[in-house]
Each structure stands twice: as structure tokens, then as C-alpha cells.
Structure 1
Amino acid sequence: MSLNTTTHLNFRGNARAALSFYQSVFGGDLTVVTYKDAHSVTDPAEADQVMWGQTVANSGFRVMAYDVPSARPWDQGTAPFFVSVRSDSTDEISALWEKLAVGSTVIQPLAKSGWAPLYGMLKDKFGVTWVLDVAVPYKA
């Protein structure tokens, strides 16, 4: 038996745009099911919003998202979570950073740190905070 976890992001009306952007950064396949597709429309204005969606890449990257219906409470919060992307390749992390940084607010520029060859943090144009770093073995 195997088990994996997937980050599931909640949005209010822009889940499709976010998933498409992440696909442009990480590659892979985009799947979107709208409330209309699922025959679960409660507000006609939200029929084409994402009830369930995901971007999955061959690299192992996977993220899910949906649009929280207006009838449900939703608050993105200040820093409720970070999405961490790690690789053993500085080239891969640098390339992903360049794409993800478009339209973002850089919190910590991608650079060498005391614990990693590269580390950086940014908040993308959808309000999601990303941490990218090059993973190295931890030596206690």
C-alpha cells in the first residue's frame, strides 16, 4: 500500500487561473471539474467555478484547488500555510523560481542560506506563499 499527500488550495473564484499558472510553472496536466460539470450548482453565477481541480506533473509535483462557494465562509488568512518545493538540483529550483516569481512578492530572495545551497520564499499573485529550496542531508 502507498500513501501520498497533496496540497489542496482554496480560492474564491480564481482556482482555475491559479491551477493554470501552476501548470505553466511546473508543467504536467490540468484537470478541472466545475460546479456545472458536477451538477452541483447552488449559485448560477458560480456554475463555471472550480468544484475540484488539480495540476499533476511527471516530476511528482501535484496541487489541488477549488473555489469556495460564496454561501460558505472563507478567509485566506495572513499566513495559514506555505507550499514547499524541494529538489536536489539548483538548476531546477532556479528555473521554477523564475517562473513562479512572475507577478509575485518576494519575501526572501532565492539565494544561498546557512542550511541550503538555495532558499527563497515568495507570495504569488494568488496569495499563496511558496518556499523553494535545494534539499541537502541534515547533519545534526
Structure 2
Amino acid sequence: MEIGIGLVGIGGFFLFLGIVLLFDKGLLAIGNILFISGIAFIVGLDKTRRFFFQSNKLKASGFFFGGIIVVLIGWPIVGMILELYGFFLLFKGFFPFVIEFLRRIPGLGLILNLPFISSFVEKIAGDTRRSNV
């Protein structure tokens, strides 16, 4: 599990670095591979496969993995847009829990409750009483 968390963290760092360095396709590709392998290490191969290939998540998985393929082909900006859309569709059920967690962090909670930011965060979080996971 610790290896998986490290891989996800390093993958996220490479993705961030790839975006900062004007969508460097090599860094983005390495980040994607490390991120996906880290998820597989954390929850296991079978659960990872079942998560990505559920019948109600096939569209989201298609966008996510299609974005990775487009990045590897050489169109990093288009690929990252596809990946972000797929990531949002795949993990939108987790957003209410993440936002509630972030609201409980002392300094960040104050920022998230500011008037303009609060309305935006509510739209992202959706209904916090239930999850679509």
C-alpha cells in the first residue's frame, strides 16, 4: 500500500511538472503510467479493473484511457482535456466527501466558505448526503 501511495504521489508530481513545462508529453506519459499503477497497487488489480470497467463507467473510462493514448500519440493538450473529463466522470462520486474533508481543515475551511467560492464548491460537490460511487 505504501508503494502505491508513493507511485500515485510521484505520478501526480510528474503530471503537474508536465503541465507546468508546457505539456511535455514525456512527463505526462510517465505521470499517467505511475498514477494508474499506483492505484492498482493501492486497491489491487482486480478491484482496479472492476472500478474502471463497470458498465455505468465505460464512457468515463473511455475518455480517461483515450486521453492517455492521445498524450502518448503526441497531442498532450487534447489528451489532458480528455483525461480530465474522464477523471471528473469517474471520480465525481468522491467529490462530496473530499470537499467535506477539506472544509474541516482550519484555514482551508474558511476559504471554502467565502461567498463566491462557496457557491462554486457547492456546484462541484453536489448533494453531500449521498454518493454516486
Indicate whether the TM-score tops 0.5. no
Give the number of the structure with larger relative contact order, counting CA–CA contacts within 8 Å between residues 6 or more apart.
1
Provide TM-score, normalisation by structure 1: 0.28
Q: Where is the helix percentage greater, Structure 1 or Structure 2?
A: 2
Q: Where is the strand percentage greater, Structure 1 or Structure 2?
A: 1
Provide TM-score, normalisation by structure 2: 0.29
